[in-house]
A and B are shown apart, each in its own frame.
Chain A
Amino acid sequence: MKIKKNIATSESGYVFNPSTGESFSVNPIAIEIFNFLKEGKSYEEISKTMLARYNTDEATFEKDYNDFMGMLKQHLLIETENEKEN
């Protein structure tokens, strides 16, 4: 899954969707995941990096990652199949 190309993010955790005009705030760990997703990294790669950096376990991270992806989808920040083709 990839973040839509037009989504603007700042280093301080501000996210803006120019298509809808909606703004979001994200915490530092979410910015990191955001950036990995923009780079097109897989879950496995992201998980490995995060588990090395943060004091958590794989099960917890997987659960929270999936929850975060759900939030991204709900707020239409992830590329849909149609957008990928274009």
Chain B
Amino acid sequence: MEKLRYERPVLKKLETNMPNKFGLRTEYVPKTHIDGVAVKDLIKEYGSPLFVISESTIRKTYKDAKKAFTTRYPKVQFAWSYKTNYLGAVCNVFHQEGSWAEVVSGFEYDKAILNGVDGSKIIFNGPDKTEEDLEKAIKNESIIHIDHLDELYSIIELTDKLKKKPKVAIRVNMDTGIYPMWDRFGFNYENGQAWDALNKIMRSDKLELVGLHCHIGTFMLTAQAYGTAAFKMADLALGVKKKYNHDIKYIDMGGGFASKNTLKGSYLPGDDTNPTFDDFAEAITSALINSDFEPDNLPMLVLETGRALIDDAGFLLGTVISNKRSSAGKRTTIIDIGVNILFTSFWYDHKISPAQPFTHYTEDTTLYGPLCMNIDVIRESISLPLLNKGDNFVIHHVGAYNMTQWMQFITLRPKVVMIDEKGKAYVIRENETIERIIAMEKVPDHLKEFEL
């Protein structure tokens, strides 16, 4: 006779009208498959932990976002935010869908070129562009978004050397009624810095002012702030037209759209409460269309949203190492995923689903990672079904930032797999090996030998 599936015995005190920090149980079905591929098979073949990216989810999310904007505004261009996830395969899905590249460093710039993006379709943001980076960008006719006056002067100097007229925009920061106000990047709208920079560009006659850029914050939970930002950007563009009779070709509203993740401290899940693409699109496009632009001469709208486009497509598969109890008797579970590879667990209460069937019994649990450090906590409090040692689980919405901000710490980073639209899995980034890590080190001769 086949044995029954084992579940550890559990006793749970029933409490009514006692709200607690664990919240309600949220897991009703196991996540056994991703795009038709069994989680167990993926772990068996590629190991645990394992990042899995769903190509079809990326394409669907992109199409949803594009539809939200293009049904409201005639000229829309997305630019893939490399810093959110710059794995070549991920970038190329976005490029196939029509996204330009948006980069914030020389490294990312080179990555975009290596991915095959035409230089003129690269937007170069960020405060740290070296002279070498700028020269490369000017030669390739990329669009440079100027962050500060030192950069502006460097570009003007380079124009004499390169005999080219670079295509530039300025990054504008502004008060949109949200906190914190991101005023460290670019030139301020309210105090006149932005106009100062625009005047310098227009009067130098050595640069071609093609656009205006802003990026008001990250994981924005209100769409209306974008409406305020778009209104101020339109005001600047119209001011340039009036003063210099110069058309601004595009307004780049940056990114910062919230994904479906749940920020720590939120009472309700992000799935239910975060603004949708339609909300963001409505706020931005209404502000632009209602401004004084001639209806037939609207600037192109550029969007650099990263997180909201890739988060949902990323899954992180893992395995339970052990179940323990804390000194106070609370259930704690150790898993093989630490904050070194799941950086976003510092910000989010990630949704976690068991990868095998379970009963409706749950325990309030703290999920610890495997790092030998006290800060390695994946969920401080989660009501989870009863997981045994060796059981697998899936962490949802991990596509953004984790595969760029992860750290090699005490262990090696895992493989990343992409499942294509036909349900075939491809390794898109190999796991690290100790040889690869050591290959970068050098031990001086006098330190090579020792006796103990």
Binding site for B on A (CB under 8 A): 15, 22-30, 33, 52-56, 60-61, 64-65, 67-68, 70-72, 74-75, 77
In the complex, the answer to whether A24 meets B14 with C-beta atoms within 8 Å is yes
A22-B13, A75-B11 known; A27 vs B359 contact (CB < 8 Å): yes
Q: Is the CB of B4 closer than 8 A to any CB of chain A?
A: yes
In the complex, the answer to whether B4 meets A68 with C-beta atoms within 8 Å is no
Binding site for A on B (CB under 8 A): 3-14, 323, 325, 329, 359, 361, 386, 388-389
Cα A27 to Cα B385 with chains together (Å): 11
Cα A15 to Cα B12 with chains together (Å): 10
Cα A11 to Cα B451 with chains together (Å): 67
Q: 21 interchain pairs (CB within 8 A)?
A: A23-B14, A24-B12, A25-B361, A27-B359, A29-B6, A29-B8, A53-B3, A54-B5, A54-B6, A55-B6, A60-B6, A64-B8, A64-B9, A65-B9, A68-B8, A68-B9, A68-B10, A71-B10, A71-B11, A74-B329, A75-B11
Q: Is the interface of B mostly helix, strand, loop or mixed?
A: loop
Chain A residue nearest to B322 in the complex (CB)? A63
In the complex, the answer to whether B3 meets A26 with C-beta atoms within 8 Å is no
Cα A52 to Cα B389 with chains together (Å): 19
Which residues in B have their C-beta under 8 angstroms from that of A68?
8-11
Chain A residue nearest to B331 in the complex (CB)? A67
Chain B residue nearest to A50 in the complex (CB)? B6
Which residues in B have their C-beta under 8 angstroms from that of A61?
6
In the complex, the answer to whether A67 meets B325 with C-beta atoms within 8 Å is yes
A53-B4, A67-B325 known; A27 vs B388 contact (CB < 8 Å): no
In the complex, the answer to whether A54 meets B3 with C-beta atoms within 8 Å is yes
Cα A25 to Cα B361 with chains together (Å): 9
Additional A-B contact list (11), CB under 8 Å, known A30-B10, A54-B5: A15-B11, A23-B14, A24-B12, A27-B7, A27-B10, A28-B7, A65-B9, A67-B325, A68-B9, A70-B329, A71-B11
